[in-house]
Amino acid sequence: MTKSPNKSRASGRTTLTAVAAHAGVSAMTASRALNQPELVSDEVRLRVEQAVAALGYVPNRAARALASRHSNVIVVLVPSLSNFVFNAVIDGIQQVVDAANYQLLIGNTRYSDAEEEKLLKIYLESNPMGILLSGLTHSPRVEQLLASSGVPVVSMMDLSSDPQQLSVGFSQHEAGRTMTRYLIDKGHKRIGFIGAQLDERTLTRAAGYRSAMVEAGLADERLELMVPDASSIGLGAELLGRMLAQVPDCDAIFCCNDDLAHGAIYQCQRRGIAVPEQLAICGFNDLPASAWMIPSVTTISTPRYRVGFEAATLLRNVIEGRQPQVGHIDLGFTLMPRESA
């Protein structure tokens, strides 16, 4: 059986040469029509586009990246694709990337150093233009891969003190401290902290909580309940029960995120515990449901969309040779006092 001249023998893909022949132009002209259409006439561009449609041509971007030592790909690594927080971050990134005609390559690290390393090794083979990473700290192997790649990197969700590390976010430590100070100023003295997942951001918020408790002379290790389990509403309900079992006189609980806070409130309702009269509950991140819970949830509002937008903008400026005026962009956070605390 004779192989179609429109197909590459190695891959079976329709080739640019076949597109050029179909359009009656050279391969170089066909390439210009697809990649720099302003350099060819409208008539030539139309013929090439018609050839592409007729032959079903799909550009081999991997080969192009290998030849040019770069691509139009931006790599984004986040710890979860089901978490509303990171969905909003990706939405912000997408707006900038679409406007710049880049392509996103999104990876879910699942809060795993090993998974982050595996994905990064695979994605670096695409010769990306830049990388957006969640958090500031990574495994030694990931740090080595990033350093040897020479690809610009922007960290998201927290702020670095390293002048060489570009970052966009807010102080997780100060946010945790601010929420705790709010509860202290409301007169609470036995303030518990419930944490799950135990990623970098949760641990930093816990450190902020601990700092405020120490300053107020209220610190007690029994008031901290930290588990490595994946966060969920159900886990929040379970941890509320465990906290009250070990510290019956607890009068307020700071949950490391809103999912846990929602679960804790539901558990209080099942037990007949009045919130906030008997037990104040607060969360973190200000998920959409938090304003509509009964009672509505006191929480910290975080600028997820803006984190993604500003991080992608910063990365784009670096990629396109514009020296950033500021290497660390602090977007701040907002305390949202509501009915639960």
102-155 pLDDT, tens digit each: 999 999 999 999 999 999 999 998 889 999 999 999 999 999 989 888 899 999
**Which residues of the chain form CATH 1.10.260?**
16-59
Mean pLDDT of 232-249: 97
d(CA 249, CA 260): 20
**What pLDDT, on the 0 to 100 scale, is given for residue 60?**
59
Helix (H) or strand (E) holding 318: helix 304-319
**What pLDDT, on the 0 to 100 scale, is given for residue 70?**
58
**What pLDDT, on the 0 to 100 scale, is given for residue 64?**
55
Mean pLDDT of 23-27: 91
* Residue 14 DSSP code: B
Q: Give the chain's radius of gyration (CA, Å).
A: 26
Mean pLDDT of 22-42: 88
Average pLDDT, the chain: 91
Q: CATH 3.40.50.2300: does it fit domain 172-301? A: yes
**What pLDDT, on the 0 to 100 scale, is given for residue 79?**
94
d(CA 54, CA 61): 20
Mean pLDDT of 329-335: 97
Judging by beta carbons within 10 Å of its beta carbon (0-12, 13-18, 19+), is residue 83 exposed, middle or buried?
A: buried
In tens, the pLDDT along 49-106 reads 998 888 877 765 555 544 445 578 999 999 999 888 999 999 999 999 998 889 999 9
CATH of domain 72-170+305-334: 3.40.50.2300
**Which residues of the chain form CATH 3.40.50.2300?**
72-170+305-334, 172-301
d(CA 145, CA 117): 8
Q: CATH 3.30.70: does it fit domain 16-59? A: no
Mean pLDDT of 32-40: 85
